[in-house]
Structure 1
Amino acid sequence: MAERRVKVGSSVGLHARPANLFVTAAKEQGVKVQIGTADGERGPVDAASILSVMGLGVQSGEEVVLTSSDDEQGEAAVAALAELLEQDLDAS
């Protein structure tokens, strides 16, 4: 299983605009990706579901875990989404 831990860089966490950008990117990956909090308290949930992602209540600086299939496409998907999450997606 492809797995990546990353700290959320958006100043508002995974809410509203950052969550929408993340979910849109997750849908474009072509493989199923899941996201959950690193402490295991919330998730994992489908990264392509806006309601599920926002329901995690992830805050700025909180560490999350992205998982996908253990193949090149899964590895590429979690890498791309991890890179996205590290950015402040709420900045204009």
Structure 2
Amino acid sequence: MPERKVIVESQVGLHARPAATFVQTAAKSPIDVTVAKPGGAPVSAKSILSILALDVRHGEVIVIHADGEGADQLLDELAAIVSAP
């Protein structure tokens, strides 16, 4: 299963607008996508409540997994959202 480890660059972390954009991008795809803090339990990248519950802050690393056709492209898009300041 392809994955990306990404440092969260947004000053608000993966909350508010960055989280909404992240979830909307993941939800547009039929691919199964999860996100987790390293060593933590993965949650659905398509659930805003699950993403907010991770409490990901600026400078933290997350691991995004995707499985299916087009997974690499989707992971690149999601990584770009998370790594944008």
Question: What residue in structure 2 maps to residue 56 of structure 1?
Answer: 54
Question: What residue in structure 2 maps to residue 5 of structure 1?
Answer: 5
- TM-score, normalisation: structure 2: 0.91
Moved over 6 A (4+): none
1:83 is matched with which residue: 74, 80, 84?
80
Identity of aligned residues (%): 40
2:31–2:69 Cα contact (<8 Å) kept: no
**Unaligned residue ranges in structure 1 (runs of 5+):** none
Query: Offset at 1:72?
Result: 4.3
RMSD (CA atoms) = 1.2
Q: Equivalents in 2 of 1:30, 1:10: separation in Å? A: 26
Q: Secondary structure of the equivalent of 1:30?
A: coil
Matched, 1:29 2:29: yes
